[in-house]
Amino acid sequence: MIVADDLGYSDLGCFGSEIATPNINALALQGQIFTNFYTAATCSPSRAMLLSGTDNHIAGLGNMAENVSYYPEQVGKPGYEGFLNNRVVCVAQLMKDAGYHTYISGKWHLGLTKEQSPSAKGFERCFALLDAAANHFAPDRSQSQFWEDGSFAQFPPGKYSTDFYTDKSIEFIEKDRVDNRPFFLYAAYTAPHWPLQAPTDFIEKYKGVYDIGYDSLRTFRFESLKEKGIVLGDVQLPPLPRVKGSLYNISNQPLLAWSSLSKSEQKIESRKMEIYAGMIENLDQNIGRLIQYLKVIGEYENTLFVFLSDNGPDVFELNETPNPSNPYPYMGTANSFIAYGPQWAHASSAVNSYYKGYSAEGGIHSPMIIKMPFQNEGRGIVKTFTTIMDLAPTFLDVAGATYPPTNNGKSLAKYKGSSLLPFLEKKKSDVHKDDYVMGWELFGRCAIRKGKWKIRKMEPPFGKAVFELFDIDKDPTESYDLSSQYPAKYKEMLIAWKTYVKENGVILKD
């Protein structure tokens, strides 16, 4: 299970990107591309859903742990613990119980103590970043916490995060290979999450590529998605908002057109995207290393691969270097702290509206690729609705394991996801029926999806502060509010929202 951090919907070559991702593309060619796959709007809620198979409000991450203190009504309440709680059991524990070796290499973000660590949740071997983010070259500078097997650890100096996490993944598999037991690997990479940093040779490959600017890149990516059949030909790219958003609120700063920037400003902005692209190509190269290792040991064909992003691209914007008056030479190095901001995030989202932190499609609509064992003939584009909660039950199904009603004497919440295996084996034509409901709530931004219909509530100017109704099949850009045109459907969806709040213990801000 390979997870990229804050990767945008159009950032892969097989999803229309100009970024070189040949190894991920090869998995897609041999497997299938899921174009209707949904996550939560930010990192830790998605990871809670991924590992628990249920809603993040049930699993303990109803809000990000670092943000609960800003919502007094949520502090100390069930579902808002900030770590995987005892209402769920991590899929790693169940895979371990089924006879699998279980490994995590990369980002955890689901608890900071020994009792909340990957080791306590079923991972037999681990090297994990416990925090949300870290410097990719020198994590000690960001005071990030790491966990190795049963104790706190230090990140080795001189290593680049994506390279090192791949090293550890291979090390874990190699060490246990002698016993011939199956393994479950969670390769939870931290790229391309800020700070934007990459080895220089990867950055330089993209020098000049983004001089076209973020406006033109967004158009190019959108048209590429159409050419690949991922977006219908009659869908139109909507105009951008007038102001920038931020993760938690609206910044009210103007969203500047590329043409309004000076040449020096354009140079700095282009460099941000060059670094971001370099991080993604480096990630792809490391996935290639992992694939090649599995081929060498004879396990590639016998391995199920799942690739996804945990949410949409990040809107965060920062340009911090040792020399603010001349930042360019430092950008992308261990001495810089760069985040590319909403303009480039809009381009990464392309067809999707907005970005990480929002209940709009740009926050929750992710690329996913699955390659089955011994599958060499791909199925191309798969448009059936799937969710990040489907993966845990899928892994159990593959392992021949079952989900227990209790764990350590405590009743467990039921899975809200469904196994993808019958669909992947062509025994079923879909994963969820049209009456299946998925809900979202984070930072007061809310949504419900049922079949092709979606209601979404966000604050102005990106929303109307009330629920709007969209037909996502026909209007993936969420441009046309149909609430007045279909009042009965709108009422039905509002009822579904109230049911979701009650069933999942959602606590809305007063």
C-alpha–C-alpha distance, residues 432 and 214, integer Å:
36
Nearest to 282 by CA among 177, 159, 199: 199
- What is each CA distance from 229 to 54, 232, 365, in whole angstroms? 31, 6, 17
Q: What Rg, from alpha-carbon coordinates, does the chain have?
A: 21
Residues facing residue 386 across a β-bridge = 37
pLDDT of residue 290: 98
Contact 113, 428 (CB under 8 A): no
Instruction: Render pLDDT for 411-444 as a digit per residue (tens, 0 to 9).
Output: 999 999 999 999 999 999 999 999 999 999 999 9
Instruction: Render pLDDT for 373-408 as a digit per residue (tens, 0 to 9).
Output: 999 889 999 999 999 999 999 999 999 999 999 988
User: Does residue 360 carry a pLDDT above 80?
Assistant: yes
Instruction: Render pLDDT for 208-220 as a digit per residue (tens, 0 to 9).
Output: 999 999 999 999 9
For residue 322, give both structure tokens. Answer: 């040792």
C-alpha–C-alpha distance, residues 472 and 474, integer Å:
5
User: Does residue 139 carry a pLDDT above 80?
Assistant: no
* DSSP-derived secondary structure letter, 17: -
C-alpha–C-alpha distance, residues 16 and 10, integer Å:
6
User: Does residue 453 carry a pLDDT above 90?
Assistant: yes
pLDDT of residue 400: 96
C-alpha–C-alpha distance, residues 172 and 301, integer Å:
19
pLDDT of residue 252: 85
User: Does residue 363 carry a pLDDT above 90?
Assistant: yes
C-alpha–C-alpha distance, residues 197 and 330, integer Å:
10
- Degrees (nearest 5) of the Cα angle 308, 309, 311? 140
pLDDT of residue 14: 98
Q: What is the pTM of this model?
A: 0.97
Torsion angle defined by CA atoms of residues 361, 110, 166 and 30, in that order, rounded to the nearest 10 degrees: -40
Residues facing residue 245 across a β-bridge = 250
For residue 361, give both structure tokens. Answer: 């499609």
For residue 429, give both structure tokens. Answer: 């034509």
Choose the weakest-confidence range: 188-202, 242-256, 284-298, 455-469.
242-256
Confidence band, pLDDT 50/70/90 cuts, at residue 60: very high
Total residue count of the chain as it appears in this document: 510
Q: Known catalytic residue: 101?
A: no
C-alpha–C-alpha distance, residues 199 and 204, integer Å:
9
Contacts of 255 (CB under 8 A, 6+ apart): 240, 241, 242, 243, 244, 342, 343
For residue 450, give both structure tokens. Answer: 């049922």
Contact 503, 414 (CB under 8 A): no
Cite the DSSP H helix spans in 90-160: 91-97
How many CB atoms are closer than 10 A to CB 250?
Answer: 16
Q: What is the DSSP string of 448-460?
A: EEETTEEEEE--T
C-alpha–C-alpha distance, residues 275 and 199, integer Å:
9
pLDDT of residue 141: 65
Residues 14, 43, 90, 446: which is the catalytic one?
A: 43
**Is 2-180+190-429 assigned to CATH 3.40.720.10?**
yes
Instruction: Render pLDDT for 271-309 as a digit per residue (tens, 0 to 9).
Output: 999 999 999 999 999 999 999 999 999 999 999 999 999
pLDDT of residue 142: 64
pLDDT of residue 81: 97
Stretch 3-26: mean pLDDT, rounded? Answer: 98
| pLDDT averaged over every residue in the chain | 96
C-alpha–C-alpha distance, residues 402 and 390, integer Å:
14
User: Does residue 148 carry a pLDDT above 80?
Assistant: yes
Confidence band, pLDDT 50/70/90 cuts, at residue 459: very high
Q: Known catalytic residue: 109?
A: yes
User: Does residue 143 carry a pLDDT above 80?
Assistant: no
Contact 129, 105 (CB under 8 A): no
Domain locations in the chain as residue ranges? 2-180+190-429
AA letter at 150: G
304 Cα distance to chain centroid: 19
User: Does residue 140 carry a pLDDT above 80?
Assistant: no
Q: Is the peptide bond before 476 cis (omega within 30 degrees of 0)?
A: no
pLDDT of residue 138: 85
Q: What is the 3-state secondary structure (H, E, C) of 161-225?
A: HHHHHHHHHHHHHHHHHHHCCCEEEEEECCCCCCCCCCCHHHHHCCCCHHHHCHHHHHHHHHHHH
User: Does residue 265 carry a pLDDT above 80?
Assistant: yes
Stretch 84-106: mean pLDDT, rounded? Answer: 98
C-alpha–C-alpha distance, residues 154 and 184, integer Å:
24
Confidence band, pLDDT 50/70/90 cuts, at residue 249: confident
User: Does residue 448 carry a pLDDT above 70?
Assistant: yes
Residues 14, 90, 101, 109: which is the catalytic one?
A: 109
Of 157 and 270, the one with more pLDDT: 270
Contact 7, 280 (CB under 8 A): yes
Stretch 123-137: mean pLDDT, rounded? Answer: 96
Q: What is the 3-state secondary structure (H, E, C) of 224-236?
A: HHHHCCCCCCCCC
Handedness of CA 403, 409, 411, 413 (dihedral sign): negative
Contact 275, 347 (CB under 8 A): no
pLDDT of residue 372: 97
C-alpha–C-alpha distance, residues 160 and 106, integer Å:
12
